[in-house]
């Protein structure tokens, strides 16, 4: 069965630290990939997406993600986090052949001021 794994359930960092959140999926076909973010008290919103082309994609607020097809991974990165990045982050995979979308269980990121 298709699945999406976010290995870190809860991450605590200090401001200015570098961030990398892992996302791995199990699906052998063509995929579209997404990272969503949910800030406290706000709706889920799209952070970035990958459909094709350059495997390094840039999103809002200085986030980027790299698609490594051989590793079935789409890790989210930010070189220097801010207190305002405190949120829950969700990775999602859309398997194109059957047009399903599967979300990871989320990673809660807490940035210490």
Partner 1 sequence: KAGVTQTPRYLIKTRGQQVTLSCSPISGHRSVSWYQQTPGQGLQFLFEYFSETQRNKGNFPGRFSGRQFSNSRSEMNVSTLELGDSALYLCASSPSGSYNEQFFGPGTRLTVL
Q: Which of 49, 54, 76, 86 binds partner 1 (CB under 8 A)?
A: 49
Q: Give dist(CA 79, CA 96) in Å, integer.
A: 31
2 binds partner 1 (CB under 8 A): no
Contact track, partner 1, 13-42, x by CB under 8 A: -------------------x-x-x------
Count of chain residues binding partner 1 (CB under 8 A) = 20
Q: How far is the CB of 10 from partner 1 (least distance, A)?
A: 12
Q: Give dist(CA 67, CA 79) in Å, integer.
A: 17
99 binds partner 1 (CB under 8 A): yes
């Amino acid at each position: 069965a298709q699945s999406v794994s976010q290995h870190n359930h809860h991450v605590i960092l200090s401001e200015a630290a570098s961030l990398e959140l892992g996302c791995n999926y199990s699906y052998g076909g063509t995929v579209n990939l997404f990272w969503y973010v949910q800030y406290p008290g706000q709706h889920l919103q799209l952070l970035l997406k990958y459909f094709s082309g350059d495997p390094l994609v840039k999103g809002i607020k200085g986030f980027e993600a790299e698609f490594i097809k051989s590793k079935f991974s789409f890790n989210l990165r930010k070189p220097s986090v801010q207190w305002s990045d405190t949120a829950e982050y969700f990775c999602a995979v859309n398997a194109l052949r059957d047009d399903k979308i599967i979300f990871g269980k989320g990673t809660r990121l807490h940035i210490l001021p």
